[in-house]
Amino acid sequence: MEEKHMERSVISKGKTVEQAVDRALALLEVSKKEVSIEIIDNESRGFLGLNARPAVVRVSLLAASVAEMGALSSMNLHTATPVSVDRHTVGILEQGMSAESAAVVTLPPVDLYADLTLGSNKLEEGKIWIADGQIAMHIPDGANLPMIDAFKSGDILINGTALLAGQSAAVSKEDVIEIRLNGESKDSTWELDIDAEGMNAALHIEPGYHITRSLMDTEPNTRLMLRVVQNKKPAAIDPEEIYHQLRTKEIIFGIDSSMIKQACRAERSGPFIIAAGQLPVAGQDGIFQLQTDAAARKVQPKLRDNGTIDYRETREFPSILEGELIGTVIPSKPGIDGRDIYGKVILAPAVHDIQMIPGKDVQLSEDGRNAFALKSGMPSQTRQGHYVKLSMIPKLMHSGDVNLSTGNIHFRGDVEISGAVQDTMEVEAEGNIRVRGNINMAQILAGDSLIVHANVLSSRIIVGQLQLFYGQIAPMLIYVREQVELMKQAVHQVSSASAFKINDMNQTGLAPLFQVLFQGRFKWMLEQLERLLRLEEQYKTALKEEWIRYFQEIRNGFMNKENSSFRTAEDLESFIRRTNYLYTLASAPVVERNFARLHFVQNSTVRCGGDVVVEKGAYNAHLYCEGVLEATGTLRGGTYYAAEGMVLQEAGSPGTGTTKLHVNATARIKAARVLAGTTIQIGERIHQCMEDVEHVTIRLDNNEQIIWKGSE
């Protein structure tokens, strides 16, 4: 019987058919002439590298070649593997480490569970994997060697020879496999920034990092593609470097150790405030606090949800009985000094105590802290700097109407009238006026505020005329003060001239000299003085004694051509000081604005130094106010001026008659409805409505053109 030789074959994989065949030939240690090749599966590269598939071939020894290898039936295939060397260790070598210092793990003897038998139709596959970060293998006798793939050049060394990127190699237990896991490092950088005031020191960090890499465990397989896990940690900064820099900069206060620690371990860029100074805390000046129920009787106007002002809950006129406590001086509270990061003290702003000056019908306690009323009335306080002058102003309660039988009312306080003010009558008060009935063909002069619960018919109303006076006279006083200062210098220069004898000045004062100056460079000064005297006549009923004396001094000192009350330059200096004092009064900020709240106005003139509220409306009225005009009713006919703007429900005349609305250039008019024919004036710009408009805001744009918009 013919002798039969059993066939020996190897199944091999590779990226290409040629690579798979070469691997099989290497395992069998034969040439292509001694084998038959069967392609089981062609390689597939996939799309963009996805779903790639290796080539698989079966390489079988021809019968003659099998006979020649019979003597190898008892040999371990590994002894014939060309990549094997006489080494029995497998290790991992990180970049930067020598071969001697590499972590080397000695593998235990491999359990060979399958012998290679000549004539077998199928060889068992060797396995390779990663366990606990180390390479492990299981290769039965006669099995195909497992493969290892290099992802990039130089990361795998087999017996000292590096694999190139994409290259594969069969390995055995006798091979020395070194894995280079490259780490990365970047040092952190930092810079200390100190603000100009020396209140903050900020550490600007650009964090660095340390990256270490290790092998991920894999399942046993015939092929090993290394999988690497990366561990990134921030590169810490030595806190002592920061503290050394702080000492170098002499920063000693407000150092935040916890923030320094956090910054040194930062994983993100950004400033860290590591030292902060302490700002000074402002104290409180002393105040005079009224003891009465001022909050309930004298409250500020409330702001509605729609932005308008509600004066219906405005102040009542408080009163204090004789002997009662008016108020108490609250001492000042000093502030707290601060400190910068250099330890330098930053002083808190100085505080000031209030000094009380008792006025009419007011008495102070011995320590000056408490003020008591000597007569019943309403407390009135005037503040100049850190001084408060306190006086008692009585309140007049008038029952019934003001008519011919009662006479006119002129009162230096507050007035409340339960009835009406009849024809041709006049009510004048330095404080507040409340009228519960009609005002008919009468005149009302209120120094502070006016509330009318009924109608104003064919009457003249003036509220807060002192504020109107202040607004006009303040710039005039500045001019007078400057001109008198120059006149004083002129007096020094010409008083020694022969034309002006000392004896003549003693008799006529400076009048002759003034006449010469008024005809020359000071002719505008004379015109300004004449304007001041006309202003006095216009507001005479509202002026206090100090203003009346001042205007009289102008008449006696400058306007008398024959004799002047000013004799010397020192007299002019005294006049300058009085001018400065009155300018301080006229230019002082208004603590409480004047206001008028009117129910209905018809055929009347109203002038107010503050805000005006018209509840039901106005017909053919002429209304002027320095504040805001609010009309919750309708404005029909007439002229209405409000310096700071208007908030209206409806304005205009559907039939005959014209209605004009006028505000300053910086103000605006908000109206729910404006009828056709209404004249709108914003600053110097005038526009006439040609049709009805609703829910508009009218103002000037940047080019000083009138623009109309929906409600804002």
Contact status, residue 87 vs residue 175, Cβ threshold 8 Å = yes
Which spans in 422-522 are helix H?
465-494, 502-508, 511-519
Q: pLDDT band for position 121 (50/70/90)?
A: very low
Contact status, residue 649 vs residue 631, Cβ threshold 8 Å = yes
pLDDT at res. 503 = 54
- Burial readout 504-525 (b: 16 or more C-beta within 10 A, e: otherwise): ebeebbbbbbbeebbeeebeeb
Q: pLDDT band for position 110 (50/70/90)?
A: very low
Inform me whether the pLDDT recorded for 331 exceeds 60.
Answer: yes
Inform me whether the pLDDT recorded for 623 exceeds 90.
Answer: yes
Over the stretch 649-674, which tens digit does the pLDDT of each residue have?
999 988 767 999 999 999 999 999 99
CA–CA separation, 619 vs 635, rounded Å?
Answer: 6
DSSP letters along 641-698, please?
EETTEEEEEEE--SSSS-EEEEE-TT--EEEEEE-TT-EEEETTEEEE-SS-EEEEEE
Q: For 15, which DSSP code? A: S
| Mean pLDDT across 532-540 | 89
Report the SS3 class of residue 159: coil
Which pTM value belongs to this model? 0.45
Pick the CATH number of 287-393 from 2.40.50, 1.10.10, 2.60.40, 2.30.30: 2.40.50
Q: For 25, which DSSP code? A: H
Q: pLDDT band for position 51 (50/70/90)?
A: low
CA 83-94-14 angle, 5° bins: 35
Over the stretch 342-375, which tens digit does the pLDDT of each residue have?
999 999 999 999 889 898 899 999 888 999 999 8
Total residues belonging to the chain: 712
Over the stretch 480-491, which tens digit does the pLDDT of each residue have?
999 999 888 888
Q: What percent of the chain has pLDDT over 70?
A: 82
Over the stretch 580-589, which tens digit does the pLDDT of each residue have?
999 988 887 6
pLDDT at res. 384 = 75
Question: Pairing relation of β-strands 287-290 and 325-330?
Answer: antiparallel
Please measure the distance between the N-terminal and C-terminal CA atoms of the chain and give it in whole angstroms.
Answer: 115
Inform me whether the pLDDT recorded for 112 exceeds 80.
Answer: no
Q: Tokens for 586?
A: 């006229």
Average pLDDT value over all residues in the chain: 81
Q: Tokens for 601?
A: 């106005």
Contact status, residue 119 vs residue 128, Cβ threshold 8 Å = no
Q: Tokens for 365?
A: 């306690």
Contact status, residue 602 vs residue 455, Cβ threshold 8 Å = yes
Report the SS3 class of residue 30: coil
- The DSSP H or E segment spanning 527 is helix 523-538
| Longest Cα–Cα distance in the chain | 173
Contact status, residue 416 vs residue 398, Cβ threshold 8 Å = yes
Tokens 């400033």 belong to which residue?
271
Inform me whether the pLDDT recorded for 621 exceeds 90.
Answer: yes
Domain ranges of the chain: 9-72, 184-276, 287-393, 466-587
Q: Tokens for 665?
A: 């250039």
Distances (CA, A) of 268 to 191, 208, 233, 264, 513: 15, 9, 12, 11, 81
Q: Is 351 exposed, middle or buried (0-12, 13-18, 19+ CB in 10 A)?
A: middle
